[in-house]
A and B are shown apart, each in its own frame.
Chain A
């Protein structure tokens, strides 16, 4: 019961925040609305007993990435953009895309879980260990190599952005 109530509360945060993000005109307000939406997602993770994802969501998205967003918004002069006339030339495409996605969601709601042929072993087995311990276990045993070379990927991205952004290369 309490789970259901919490689910709807967090879902409301996600959707309300998302709507506010795309409808508000002031960029800083948009960013704050996005934070609300991301917090709602974090809450949903917690409901699913994914504590690690919950913490990562808060620390990385709400804490790190949104802070960067706000920095950029404050550094770049957006008043000019806010005053310009808004236009919607691609609305036909947008409406079609929304209709297709809505039909998909409707179909899956109607069919339920049977619509997906999800393999048995793709769903995580019930375990005495917590979610965080499980992630740590697979990250540092089975997925050790991908975990390590992901750091190379990040290094390349950092070097790349420095090379592209430096005044004189």
Chain B
């Protein structure tokens, strides 16, 4: 224990991205009452600038990796990767939120402040190497997300989403915390590295308390990444929450959740991997199956994306079940690709939904291609990538994951996963048929012209998806290097 633990300059520097986000969030709350217009774009600009600055600082900080605050944080390649990812997600969320909040007359100050707080929690999760920081980061991120999900208080569905998310989320957090307590009892430490060293000699026959702790933490984290059988909340929340928030929930908290999933299970619980692998195996197969088959029958686009998001969590769990560095890198690549294509798809719904989010059904996409060919083309890219068609990020994401699974001899999981992605093609293609082969319906007739922010919100993720599909090596190399901490 360091006796004199005043944080030095290095500590503060390694904590700078989070500090920036927190300061900007607080600043927005202070400025909020001074700005007359409810839907002023000012706060959106401020949020965008902060996130860009945060990404720059995080990347600059990667040149000097190491622990901070006496081992509470570990700013390594892995942390940098996920910090940049969640802040990038933030940028892709702020863009569609300009026209969305203006249309719904939403209060931009509170929205953007909560968004920044949530992202700061996710950055903390990404760089934490101590269970208490992971827990606090998880709670900061979750509580802001609960409020964002219920942001439109007058909307019944938004209310329902917030309440469900809050109750089940708190329940899941309690599971996680129970696991942390057991870990402390069994090993006397909550530092991930120390836990690993303490578990290491017990790998053959770990005590019940450690196995129980791993199982409890698996439940808590499984909920946060909406893996089956803890996925019940996802469809209602994604459907009820304001569309940009649904996009955020499906990318930001999920990526950060997987970041701590990977870090905890591959470092701290790495030595007892043979014990938890069947658990992850089962959850991943169940998530893929439940997600894909339930998505087949949905009529609401947001709800369908929620089930698809459950299925995609299953794919990432396949990479975790591989228990290898290649698997971790594949999961990281997949999360980037997934963030791009899924936020893009949600952005299209946000654009189409109209005032009061009337048009979010699959039927509402009828004839969109005739009215707005550019929007339809972008959605086509996202959907093809979600299916996993070559030349898109989704293809290489799945390719790397299943290759990692095969290298770890998970043949059956790979076969079943591939069959699953064939099922998924049906419900994504259905949207394409709606857009291109039908006459325009009322929603397509009423769709407003693309504003510059909305255009950027569609083109940026589409570009990301294509770049990942054509030059996957760029991100994969980075992910591979970053996942070296797992050893």
Whether the pair B209, A149 counts as a contact (CB closer than 8 A) is no
Binds A, one of B106-114, B420-428, B431-439: B106-114
Q: A156-B117, A163-B147 are in contact. Are A122 and B133 (CB under 8 A)?
A: no
How would residues 342 to 381 of chain B score, 1 for a CB under 8 Å from any chain A CB and 0 otherwise?
0000000000000000000000000000000000000000
Per the CB 8 Å criterion, the residue count for chain A at the interface is 29
Q: A145-B73, A146-B132, A163-B151 are in contact. Are A118 and B185 (CB under 8 A)?
A: yes
Binds B, one of A9-17, A36-44, A136-144: A136-144
Per the CB 8 Å criterion, the residue count for chain B at the interface is 50
**Within 8 Å of chain A (Cβ to Cβ): is B298?**
no
Partner of B29 from the list A153, A157, A159 (CB cut-off 8 Å) is A159
Q: Cα distance A120–B1 when bound, in Å?
A: 17
Chain A residue numbers with a CB within 8 Å of B151 are 163, 169
**Within 8 Å of chain B (Cβ to Cβ): is A76?**
no
Chain A residue numbers with a CB within 8 Å of B189 are 121
Chain B residue numbers with a CB within 8 Å of A166 are 153
Chain A residue numbers with a CB within 8 Å of B107 are 169
Q: Cα distance A156–B113 when bound, in Å?
A: 9
**Within 8 Å of chain B (Cβ to Cβ): is A150?**
yes
Q: Cα distance A123–B5 when bound, in Å?
A: 23
Q: Cα distance A144–B1 when bound, in Å?
A: 12
Partner of A164 from the list B121, B162, B186, B198 (CB cut-off 8 Å) is B162
Whether the pair A141, B133 counts as a contact (CB closer than 8 A) is no
Partner of A153 from the list B72, B73, B140, B188 (CB cut-off 8 Å) is B140
Chain B residue numbers with a CB within 8 Å of A156 are 114, 117, 121, 140, 143-144
Q: Cα distance A73–B266 when bound, in Å?
A: 48
Q: A144-B7, A152-B120 are in contact. Are A169 and B153 (CB under 8 A)?
A: yes
Partner of B139 from the list A120, A153, A163, A164 (CB cut-off 8 Å) is A153
Q: Which of B4, B5, B120 has the most A CB atoms < 10 Å from its CB?
A: B5
**Within 8 Å of chain A (Cβ to Cβ): is B187?**
yes
Residue in B closest to A141 when the chains form the complex, CB atoms: B5
**Within 8 Å of chain B (Cβ to Cβ): is A116?**
yes
Partner of B136 from the list A141, A149, A155 (CB cut-off 8 Å) is A149
Residue in B closest to A150 when the chains form the complex, CB atoms: B136
Residue in A closest to B159 when the chains form the complex, CB atoms: A164
Q: A146-B133, A152-B140, A164-B147 are in contact. Are A119 and B198 (CB under 8 A)?
A: yes
Chain A residue numbers with a CB within 8 Å of B114 are 156, 159-160, 163
Chain B residue numbers with a CB within 8 Å of A157 are 143
**Within 8 Å of chain B (Cβ to Cβ): is A89?**
no
Whether the pair B132, A141 counts as a contact (CB closer than 8 A) is no
How would residues 91 to 116 of chain A score, 1 for a CB under 8 Å from any chain B CB and 0 otherwise?
00000000000000000000000001
**Within 8 Å of chain B (Cβ to Cβ): is A117?**
yes
**Within 8 Å of chain A (Cβ to Cβ): is B207?**
yes
Q: Cα distance A121–B185 when bound, in Å?
A: 9
Whether the pair A153, B136 counts as a contact (CB closer than 8 A) is yes
**By DSSP majority rule, is chain B's interface helix, strand, loop, or mixed?**
helix
Q: Cα distance A138–B132 when bound, in Å?
A: 14
Q: Cα distance A166–B143 when bound, in Å?
A: 17
Least Cβ–Cβ distance between A164 and chain B, in angstroms: 6
Q: Which of A145, A157, A164, A169 has the most B CB atoms < 10 Å from its CB?
A: A145
Residue in B closest to A117 when the chains form the complex, CB atoms: B207
Partner of A145 from the list B22, B133, B152, B185 (CB cut-off 8 Å) is B133
Chain A residue numbers with a CB within 8 Å of B117 are 152, 155-156, 159
Whether the pair B185, A122 counts as a contact (CB closer than 8 A) is yes
Partner of B1 from the list A138, A155, A169 (CB cut-off 8 Å) is A138
Least Cβ–Cβ distance between B66 and chain A, in angstroms: 15
Least Cβ–Cβ distance between A78 and chain B, in angstroms: 22
Least Cβ–Cβ distance between B172 and chain A, in angstroms: 17
**Within 8 Å of chain A (Cβ to Cβ): is B70?**
yes
Whether the pair B185, A119 counts as a contact (CB closer than 8 A) is yes
Partner of B124 from the list A122, A123, A144, A149 (CB cut-off 8 Å) is A149
Whether the pair B209, A117 counts as a contact (CB closer than 8 A) is yes
Whether the pair B1, A116 counts as a contact (CB closer than 8 A) is no
Q: Cα distance A117–B184 when bound, in Å?
A: 11
Whether the pair A164, B185 counts as a contact (CB closer than 8 A) is no
How would residues 176 to 187 of chain B score, 1 for a CB under 8 Å from any chain A CB and 0 otherwise?
000000001111
Chain B residue numbers with a CB within 8 Å of A121 are 188-189
**Within 8 Å of chain A (Cβ to Cβ): is B276?**
no
How would residues 453 to 483 of chain B score, 1 for a CB under 8 Å from any chain A CB and 0 otherwise?
0000000000000000000000000000000
Q: Cα distance A160–B110 when bound, in Å?
A: 9
Q: Cα distance A169–B162 when bound, in Å?
A: 15
Whether the pair B70, A163 counts as a contact (CB closer than 8 A) is no
Least Cβ–Cβ distance between B101 and chain A, in angstroms: 11
**Within 8 Å of chain A (Cβ to Cβ): is B34?**
no
Whether the pair B3, A141 counts as a contact (CB closer than 8 A) is yes
Residue in B closest to A165 when the chains form the complex, CB atoms: B153
Least Cβ–Cβ distance between B467 and chain A, in angstroms: 34
Chain A residue numbers with a CB within 8 Å of B29 are 159
Q: Cα distance A142–B6 when bound, in Å?
A: 9
**New contact pairs (6) apart from A116-B209, A145-B72, A153-B136, CB-CB < 8 Å:** A119-B188, A145-B7, A146-B133, A149-B137, A152-B140, A169-B107
Q: Which residues in A have some Cβ–Cβ distance to B below 8 Å? A: 116-123, 138, 140-146, 149-150, 152-153, 155-157, 159-160, 163-164, 166, 169
Closest 4 CB pairs of A and B: A121-B188, A119-B188, A141-B5, A122-B188
- Can you list 8 A-B contacts with CB-CB less than 8 angstroms, sorted by A residue number? A117-B186, A122-B184, A123-B188, A142-B2, A156-B117, A157-B143, A159-B147, A160-B147
